[in-house]
């Protein structure tokens, strides 16, 4: 039987000029002119574009989907077998109730529930399975009001991240007539349970207005609370745990600004905390009339915590509480009535520090493994000494504890169950260092079976991200065990662009230093080869979104190192996107990548690494590229154009697949089992690319 030919996208003349430079882009036509409308209604996509995307999907299905079906199903079954399908979360008390979520066997989505705190029958507040039906369902948030009568919840029905807010009367189970469309999803209640604050998203998918809605009034009469005039800033609303203030936050990737609204007087005007200053970030919380502020002000690169009176909070009144300490990155903090809890990272590993706000005494929660993940959270209540933390490592399933900040008592609550069985002693994890070209040590977390002796023939999956200061935690994952149990080494490269080694690690992987992200990842791959953990041409690289840009860059720069590339919703058409200020994320992204519209230097920097622009006539590894039609973050045409150009340019015959989810966006499939199928597909590709198992 003749194998189907790979789809060949038409080339159509298109050129654009800026800074005296003219660029040809023959695949520009894949960008739908009506992309805003497509986000809301995918059916209005241009027929020619749809035909091309569906042809690529059909080619993928014939060439890889069907031949690998048995392998995908096996991996899917393995991963699903590690999930406790009828699992329950841990109740969070609030007033007379404890709120929780539960999953039912064979169901894709959670139930949101509550039970009386003193005992009694459970009430289902929201059954997301019933709401989802057979279509896409993205829960944008669910917040009960302070009186426990109403639930404000939101959903996205096509993956475009436009959420509709509804209000459910929990005494009757019925929805109120208050229906608010085109929001970012969250709703914040005033203290009386009569008013919600929400964020509107404009036609270019930017959150730009904070609105106030009083229950029972027409949405058309909702009041404008705050409007952001700078298209480079995103906004949102929240509430302090003390319940004193509604807060409004405006920010880009390096600058922030906050406002306070009295939660007892929701119609009062927002009060500015401190006006935005380029490069200064801050975040606030409140206790007893005092603001506690996490900030990088005054050259505090790794952040410090200051205080200021809530009624006069300008920077001139900021007083250091936790001074800046170079190399000790303060990631987050929370306030309880008498304690402050902060999450820090030191030498690449996290720790929790608890401070008694009455005495100033501090104690620490940390662990001794080479690599681990640590997280903290507070519940709904402020007047308590209890907070919650989670711990896991690549070999150890997540464990959750309640911690009494007053006594230091640690109460074990739950360990993640792996129904199919998991023995941590069957696996080993290490943290190694790769030497970057400029001499920096790049941490790499390694996981493999204890009975595996790695060598040059050992397959390896190397994962990376490296942007926005996002650090990849060295935690437990049920999915990668399907590779590890097949003899893979699973590795995470903690490359620059994240904050794994402090804020400097982020600064040295952005804008004009972005190429450090790529060379760090390549150094990690070379180190794995040099140490005999794998071999050249035995590594499959994986990354998504900004990590997909990483995949595109390393594919261009060192294709010989890799057996395969998995690029999920990849941000690969960087230059064109950063030149298009109408796109949702472009203005807010300029502080991260640079602004090629106003700066010739930024233009040249981005042009030198943008994966789409640097595709060349060379051999590339096998590649799986995934996209989402309604993705507002990385628009579908970026991976589509990239694949089209690769097909026309590359000199090898290795597989190249584009799989576009025609009914989802950036996050992929919405149901938990459908999401597992996407993971199984990617891992089946990794197995095939390394020849670990034969396909049918």
Please, which pLDDT band fits residue 631 given cuts at 50, 70 and 90? Answer: confident
Q: Active site includes 631?
A: yes
Task: Tell me: do 64 and 152 sit in the same domain.
Answer: no
Spatial CA neighbour of 64 closest among 547, 481, 625: 625
- Looking at 201, 232, 249, the residue that finishes a domain is 249
Q: In this model, does residue 607 exceed pLDDT 90?
A: yes
Task: Tell me: do 202 and 235 sit in the same domain.
Answer: yes
What's the CATH code of the domain at 530?
A: 3.40.50.1820
Catalytic residue among 156, 178, 520, 631: 631
Residues with Cβ within 8 Å of residue 270, at least 6 apart in sequence: 225, 226, 248, 259, 260, 261
**Per-residue tokens: 417:** 């169950």
Q: What is the pLDDT of residues 95-142, one digit of tens each?
A: 999 999 999 999 999 999 999 998 899 999 999 999 999 888 999 999
Q: What is the mean pLDDT of the chain?
A: 95
- Say how many C-beta atoms besides its own lie within 10 A of residue 118's C-beta: 8
Q: In this model, does residue 186 exceed pLDDT 80?
A: yes
- DSSP string spanning 655-679? -EEEEEETT-BTTB-SSHHHHHHHH
Task: Tell me: do 101 and 166 sit in the same domain.
Answer: no
Please, which pLDDT band fits residue 668 given cuts at 50, 70 and 90? Answer: low
Catalytic residue among 242, 392, 471, 545: 545
* H-only helix segments in 82-143: 128-132
Mean pLDDT of 479-496: 97
pLDDT in the model for residue 74: 97
Q: In this model, does residue 463 exceed pLDDT 90?
A: yes
Task: Tell me: do 145 and 104 sit in the same domain.
Answer: no
Q: Is residue 14 part of a domain?
A: no
Q: What is the pLDDT of residues 376-388, one digit of tens each?
A: 999 999 999 999 9
User: How would you classify residue 288: left for phi > 0, otherwise alpha for psi between -120 and 50, otherwise beta?
Assistant: left
Task: Tell me: do 459 and 519 sit in the same domain.
Answer: yes
pTM of the shown model: 0.93
Task: Tell me: do 537 and 631 sit in the same domain.
Answer: yes
pLDDT in the model for residue 293: 98
Task: Tell me: do 199 and 66 sit in the same domain.
Answer: no
Q: Is residue 657 part of a domain?
A: yes
Q: In this model, does residue 1 exceed pLDDT 50?
A: no
CA distance 334 to 351: 14
Q: Is residue 62 part of a domain?
A: yes
- Looking at 204, 231, 249, the residue that finishes a domain is 249
Q: How much of the chain exceeds pLDDT 70, in percent?
A: 99
Q: Active site includes 545?
A: yes
CA distance 691 to 684: 10
Q: Is residue 348 part of a domain?
A: no
pLDDT in the model for residue 2: 55
pLDDT in the model for residue 632: 86
Please, which pLDDT band fits residue 696 given cuts at 50, 70 and 90? Answer: low
Spatial CA neighbour of 444 closest among 459, 436, 432, 456: 432
Task: Tell me: do 496 and 642 sit in the same domain.
Answer: yes
Q: In this model, does residue 670 exceed pLDDT 80?
A: no
Task: Tell me: do 451 and 577 sit in the same domain.
Answer: yes
Q: What is the pLDDT of residues 501-538, one digit of tens each?
A: 999 999 999 999 999 999 999 999 999 999 999 999 99
Catalytic residue among 205, 251, 339, 666: 666
Q: In this model, does residue 296 exceed pLDDT 60?
A: yes
Q: How many domains does the chain have?
A: 3
Q: Bridge partners of 306?
A: 293, 320
Q: Is residue 299 part of a domain?
A: no
Task: Tell me: do 505 and 534 sit in the same domain.
Answer: yes
Per DSSP, 426 falls in state: G
Q: Is residue 416 part of a domain?
A: no
CA distance 7 to 658: 10
User: Could you tell me if 655 and 64 are in contact, meaning their C-beta atoms sit under 8 angstroms apart?
Assistant: yes
**What strand order describes the sheet that includes 234-239?**
234-239, 245-251, 256-262, 271-272
**Per-residue tokens: 189:** 């209640």
- Looking at 99, 125, 151, the residue that finishes a domain is 125
User: Could you tell me if 61 and 54 are in contact, meaning their C-beta atoms sit under 8 angstroms apart?
Assistant: no
Range of the domain at 118: 86-125
Task: Tell me: do 115 and 215 sit in the same domain.
Answer: no
pLDDT in the model for residue 158: 87
Q: Is residue 22 part of a domain?
A: no
Task: Tell me: do 90 and 238 sit in the same domain.
Answer: no
pLDDT in the model for residue 47: 97
Per DSSP, 8 falls in state: -
Q: Is residue 284 part of a domain?
A: no
User: How would you classify residue 691: left for phi > 0, otherwise alpha for psi between -120 and 50, otherwise beta?
Assistant: left
Mean pLDDT of 321-341: 97
Mean pLDDT of 622-644: 95
pLDDT in the model for residue 667: 67
Residue positions counted in the chain: 696
**Residue 304 CA to chain centroid, in angstroms?**
25
């Amino acid at each position: 039987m003749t194998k189907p030919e790979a789809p060949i996208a038409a080339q159509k003349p298109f050129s654009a000029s800026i800074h005296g430079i003219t660029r040809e882009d023959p695949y520009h036509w894949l960008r739908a002119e009506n992309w805003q409308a497509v986000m809301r209604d995918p059916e209005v996509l241009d027929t020619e574009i749809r035909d091309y995307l569906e042809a690529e999907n059909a080619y993928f299905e014939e060439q890889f989907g069907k031949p690998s079906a048995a392998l995908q199903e096996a991996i899917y079954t393995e991963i699903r077998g590690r999930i406790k399908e009828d699992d329950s979360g841990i109740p969070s008390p609030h007033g007379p109730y404890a709120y929780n979520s539960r999953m039912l066997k064979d169901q894709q989505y959670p139930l949101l529930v509550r039970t009386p705190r003193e005992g009694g029958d459970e009430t289902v507040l929201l059954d997301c399975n019933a709401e989802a039906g057979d279509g896409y369902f993205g829960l944008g948030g669910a917040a009960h009001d302070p009186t426990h009568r109403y639930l404000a919840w939101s959903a996205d029905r096509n993956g475009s991240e436009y959420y509709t807010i509804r209000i459910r009367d929990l005494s009757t189970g019925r929805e109120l007539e208050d229906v608010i469309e085109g929001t970012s999803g969250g709703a914040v209640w005033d203290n009386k349970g009569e008013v919600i604050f929400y964020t509107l998203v404009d036609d270019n998918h930017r959150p730009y207005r904070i609105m106030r809605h009083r229950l029972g009034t027409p949405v058309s009469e909702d009041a404008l609370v705050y409007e952001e005039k700078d298209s480079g800033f995103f906004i949102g609303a929240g509430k302090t745990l003390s319940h004193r203030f509604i807060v409004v936050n405006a920010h880009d990737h390096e600058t922030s600004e906050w406002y306070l609204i009295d939660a007892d007087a929701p119609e009062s005007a927002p009060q500015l905390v401190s006006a935005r200053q380029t490069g200064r970030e801050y975040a606030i919380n409140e206790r007893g009339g005092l603001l506690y502020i996490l900030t990088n002000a005054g050259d505090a690169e790794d952040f410090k915590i200051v205080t200021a009176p809530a009624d006069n909070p300008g920077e001139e009144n900021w007083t250091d509480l936790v001074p800046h300490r170079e190399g000790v990155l303060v990631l987050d903090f929370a306030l309880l009535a008498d304690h402050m809890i902060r999450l820090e990272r030191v030498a690449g590993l996290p720790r929790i520090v608890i401070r008694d706000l009455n005495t100033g005494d501090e104690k620490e929660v940390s662990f001794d493994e080479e690599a681990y993940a640590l997280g903290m959270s507070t519940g709904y209540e402020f007047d308590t000494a209890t907070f919650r933390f989670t711990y896991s490592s690549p070999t150890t399933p997540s464990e959750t504890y309640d911690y009494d900040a007053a006594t230091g008592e640690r109460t074990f609550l739950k360990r993640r169950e792996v129904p199919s069985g998991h023995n941590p002693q069957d696996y080993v994890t290490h943290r190694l260092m790769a030497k970057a070209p400029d001499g920096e040590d790049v941490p790499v977390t390694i996981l493999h079976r204890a009975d595996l002796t790695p060598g040059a023939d050992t397959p390896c999956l190397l994962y990376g991200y490296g942007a926005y200061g996002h650090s990849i935690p060295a935690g437990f994952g049920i999915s990668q065990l399907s590779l590890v149990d097949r003899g893979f080494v699973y590795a995470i490269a903690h490359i620059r662009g994240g904050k794994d080694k402090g804020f400097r690690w982020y600064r040295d992987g952005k804008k004009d230093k972005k190429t450090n992200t790529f060379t760090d990842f390549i150094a990690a791959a070379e180190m794995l080869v040099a140490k005999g953990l794998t071999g050249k041409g035995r590594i499959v690289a994986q990354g998504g979104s900004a990590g997909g840009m990483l995949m595109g860059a390393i594919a261009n720069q060192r294709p010989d190192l890799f057996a395969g590339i998995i690029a999920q919703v990849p941000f690969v058409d960087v230059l064109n996107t950063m030149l298009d200020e109408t796109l949702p994320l472009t203005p807010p992204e300029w502080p991260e990548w640079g602004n090629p519209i106003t700066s010739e230097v930024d233009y040249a920097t981005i042009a030198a690494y943008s994966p789409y622009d640097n595709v060349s006539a060379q051999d590339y590894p096998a590649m799986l590229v995934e996209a989402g039609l309604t993705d507002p973050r990385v628009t579908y045409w970026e991976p589509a154009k990239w694949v089209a150009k690769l097909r026309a340019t590359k000199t090898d015959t290795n597989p190249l697949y584009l799989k576009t989810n025609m009914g989802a966006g950036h996050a992929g499939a919405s149901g938990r089992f459908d999401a597992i199928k996407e993971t199984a597909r990617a891992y089946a590709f990794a197995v095939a690319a390394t020849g670990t198992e034969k396909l049918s």
